[in-house]
Structure 1
Amino acid sequence: MILATLQFEGIQHGWMWVLLVTLGAAFMAWTYREIFVRTQRRLTWALLGLRLVGLLALLLALAKPTWTAENDLVDPGHLAVVLDDSRSMSLEGRYARAQTGVDRLRQELQTGNPGTPLTVDLFDISGEPAKAGLPSQPRTERTDLVQAVTKAIGQLRSQLLVGVVVVSDGVDNTGRQDTVELSESPVPIYGVGFSSDAEAARLDLELSQVQAPERVMVNNQTDVQITIAKSAGPAVTATVAIRRGVEDAATPVTVELGAGRTTERVPVKLEPKEAGDFVYTAWVTTPTGEKGLANNSKHFPLRVDANAIGVLYFEGFMRYEYKFLRQRLEDDPDIQLVTALRRTNPARPAVTTSRVTITPELLENTDLVILGDMESDYLTPAEYQTLSSWIEKGNPEQETADDRRSHSLLVLGGYHSFGPDGFSQTPLAEVLPVVFAADGIRQSEDPFVLELTENGIAHPIFRLASDSVQNTTMWQASPPLLGSSLVQRAKAGAEILAVNPGFRFDNQPAVVIATGRYGAGQTMVITADTTWRWTRVARIVGRSDSLYARFWSQTIRWLTGRDLEQKRAAIVVSTDRPDYDVSKPVSIKVVRQATATDAADGDVTVEVADEAGQRQAVPMRTGSAEPNVFQGQYFPQTGGRYEVHAQMSAGGQPSANQTTEFLVHGSELELAETGTNQQLLKSISNRSGGAYVDIEEIDQLAGSIDRKERRISRVQRSEYWNAPPLFVLFLLAITSEWMLRRRNHLV
């Protein structure tokens, strides 16, 4: 109902206003009496009209007319609906039935009651408003009914709340034995529950365990042991499968499960086709009417490594170069190292280790052979012939040049290997990219800093920084090497990468690093035998030894055709572990690196997507020490498979994308109890003054909810006198009247 009144707040004494209006009218009549005589009547009436309009506007402003309207509104109140979206609601189709039931209740509240319908506010089981709607699948790991109801009531404390409807299976896994605190609820609580389907419980397949190695090799077959259990019911046929995302990752296996309770371990052969960190899902299904499917799958993480680089390292005796290089190769997760040391002490030649013989079978899984400081009789003529043939033929299994993985040979400097009893008189003299000195052993022992040639500056094994000038400067500042073996020259077609600037041979700087081709294989010679100083000296002075690690890592990979520059990814994203627990931090790392055509530049953004497809941006930070390394943390709130999407953008346009995956182990509490707890919901309803109904009868609650309408009076006040148009009208009328009089010479 609307009540309105018009008041003149400026009029306190009416007789005074009557007197003033009378006197004003008399004054105007006397004033315009002579004007009527001197001018035309039309002009006089125009002047009089303008003067009256101006005076009326002034009188209206002084009288202060105010329009007051009072409007009575009816607030029908709010109804809070808490819908359980925990994992146990996935059993027996409860979640879908709950969503349908809430829609029916809303419709009944709108159409089944006269007057303004109640406002329905939807909340999830954590007590948070579901403004964007509830998720399509129940994924919450914990059910706390008391907390959910309490938080929902708190969210609506400023509104007229008429009740709370709790739609749940009643499986509260907080360990709370009683809900007596809800008996003091300021509003009634209405429980909506589910009755357990006894027939559906008779047949329940559970995938209870997945046993898989933490790491496997790409294109290698591995057995994943999947344990499935059947609770009861007749014999059924089940299918066990492994998927990655929505695609099958292995051939499904069919298994027969006998009648009654039974357990079966099923081996499934998995052969990953791609390297990286992935989350696979093991599934068990049966066509025989199973209703509870929540426990039919399990995620498991798997790190798939690329084929390891097979390195076979022969050394004549224990020396520093062997010690540090072996440690570096053993620390590289992509290298599978086999070493053979002839003597542990060069002063005691009789002491030898077990012999490793070079055979075609040994070389089948080898990509690189390294020969250290040794005499020629370390290997037999047959071994030299086998090694030379292996290098020359290369790897015929690779079909394209981009996929080629060369059979390579690396020979390290030393007194024995480059001396008169070394490789100069063996078939390797033809294989290697250098010509041995003709006058026997030649060795320079003067310290020198490695100098890169033009070819060396551009070569990927020496890349320490994306900028070539900075890269050269870093090599010029490297710790000096203590001499090197001397060779006469590099062969025609060989590529000299580094030299000893302090020693000249045949009027040319002494060759330190040279590489060349022999047949389909790759060969390299490093005449220095003290590269270990790049790590030891750096550590002594408290500096990073990244130069040593980068040099050998890049050298091994270049020789074997791995991580070629044209295949280098612009960004690499990784996590510190393949699997985590709920709420534990996931450390995400993105490395921005230069490619063959682009520098390491661009903005990096990271998003994490859960199983429901919801994405969340992860803030990434970087430091001045490592500007190309970005790090951030993500805290998962539910279990399941997650994807990390990293993107690099330049000029506002995406330039590179990388994805990795990780697994979050959810709590099994939600699925430990597959039944429902109607008694708990009934207890809550009775204590708070509400009522309990089954989900199929939820629309009956509309008539049980006690409405508490609240009338709200809203007063709207309009002050017409306090308006700019009125002031403008006054000025316009008075100004027009004065100008008209002046134009007609009346002033």
Structure 2
Amino acid sequence: MEVLQWRTHLNPVLAAATILILIAWMIILFKRQRASRSLKQTVLLLFPKVLIVLLLILAYFDPVRSVIQKPKRDKKIMVLVDSSSSMDCRDEPGASRADRASKLSESLTGQLRSYVDFETLRFDMDVHDADDSEQSAGQVRGTNLAKSLVTIAGKADDSNYLAAILLTDGGDELLSDPRLPRVPLHVASLGTSPDTWNDLSITEVDAPAIVEAGGKLEVSADILARFASKEFETQVPMVRVRLEEKQQDKWQARGSEFVRFDNPKTRARFSLQAPSEPGTKQYRINVENMPGELSGLNNIREFDLEVREDTLHVLFFAQELGWDFSMIRKELARDPSVQLTALFRVSEQRFVVQGSRQKGDEQLEAGFPKSKGVLDLFKCVIVGSFSARQWHQDQLNALLDYVRDGGAVVFLGGENSFGQGGYAGTPIEPLFPWRINNAQSAFQVGRFSVDVPAAALGNSIIAETARIIAQVESASVESVNIEGPLKSGAVTLLDASVAGRSVPLISMQRFGQGQTMAIATNTLWKWRQVSDELKDAHGHFWRQTVKNMTGWEEGQRFIAVKWDQEQYNPGQSAVATIRIAGRQDAGQLNLTAETKVDGKLTPVSVEPVLGRENTFTAEMEFAKSAQYRFELQAMLGEQVLESYQKTIAVGTKLNEGANLEVDHAFLSSLASQGGGMYFPETEFESLIGTLRSQILSRVVSMEIPLIQDKCIYILIFVAILVLEWIIRRRMNLL
């Protein structure tokens, strides 16, 4: 496209005066020539001069020819349309989300097709061509936004694509650190306000991730009712809620109850016995679908339950829950095989129980158990820092019997621990690994460096912590309980340097058939705030302590495996960091691993980590949603040191349509991370305008002055002079 523009450099008044002078000059010249020549001769003689004057006026106004070239169609725009089952939701009268997404896509391509080409794809659990045949209407099409983004990220690069457009209702799960295309990713959401819905939905399911085989299983679900119309509200006085278990590809009811909606949100509770067979079991909460309801997708919430033959239950008992408990709870929570129950006093006769609950622990609500039978529910007991005066005699005796018969106890340090707490002469004095004296014990505050005694380096509880401490500049604690010498048979795992001498900081001993440990500080938790290395040391110490002291084996007595994520989706890779406790001869240690899915075994490479002794990594890919069985075996020479097995459920945590509400904050963040912009469907025209501006920014515009364009101006000027010469020659005026 070409446009002629004028860029005069003269003042308008001066330009007009100049033109008038030239016209006046031409008139005077015409009268002078006409006085001596005929009209024809006068016109012929003045014609070249008129042309010259016009050329001069043209030069004064400096005309410019603007040439606008259309952008090259060398890049496309990718449109990715959500086709999962949640898009079938008719949250707007007469149109589903899928219908509206299709219209938006057609509007986008219709308005911008003259500028750029489009490639339209659809996605659910994977990315498909737009013209692929749709799945049957009765089949639920899930959403795997993470995998779909990974797919287009490998395709939509800046050499072939201008931008990517995502039309979606957001899926059911938030994504952390998604892989995004290298072109701007614009996101448009489909979904109306929930205030306009008639709908029942499950908002949350509270169920343990791990349960002991044959044990008590408590499951609860929060159910939210939305009543946009009075008619729907009168139809839903009460609703049946079922707990179902998947057996042989069929859902079998395990519990049922009716709930009323006196308030918009209500809760359904189920209590049942866990399966006796270990393994990963599939359950779901199913809310009865009512006539006139928006969708039945969010009436179902599926969840997995790992059934184990044994679960490590830990009891934490203190007079108040401080930072030490908070940090211990965070570390133990990272291991799903450990279930922590907290018991603390809020008044003289009132106690609060938090965390994991199990059948038979109701007596904890009255305080620390006075009988060994209740304590036997736990494999390990952690006792905080408080005075011995706050114990009852029968509670102390119960704790003593518990350890004697095979239990494990960890005593935490502090101002009211050991001798400072008046424990000398009490029934549990034999449980402390050092001799205590109420008069000679002391509690000091300062900064005390720590180190691992050489004799403890082979202990699996402290081995990994020792390795980390050796790599940091200085590990220290800010308080120390000074107690008497170690008892016979007790060992020290960690020393503190106090006034130039080594003082036992962490010690343990055997008592009867059980074990006890004492930690002579209340600031070990501060390691988490110093550095990532000491944070790992703190976590590894506590996880290994509760497992090794109880003799509890779940493939991690010698083998410690840390996974880079708690849950994996199809298309993702998993990395397991494997550490072998103790001082093993590297030449004798051999690790083999494999995954098993649908009966097919796939070897997994286990590679050593450079610079880290007895540390390895294993990486595997999960191509589809399935139950993957990971098996690891550590061999020391020809002897099996230990085996480790883990079942990994690969797939989205939430079933399709569990969250029909559009998460505008998440989608806006996703667009921002992708270098694009976010638009609700009501603002889709703004997205089209943004793309149009982006496309037109690639338009190439050139300005060519006419007096310089290919010397045409000069050639015309010369041609006029030649014409005048010819006229004068023929009129014999030369």
Whichever of the two has the greater Rg, that structure is 1
Return the TM-score normalized by structure 2. 0.43
Return the TM-score normalized by structure 1. 0.42
Higher relative contact order (CA 8 A, sep 6+): 1
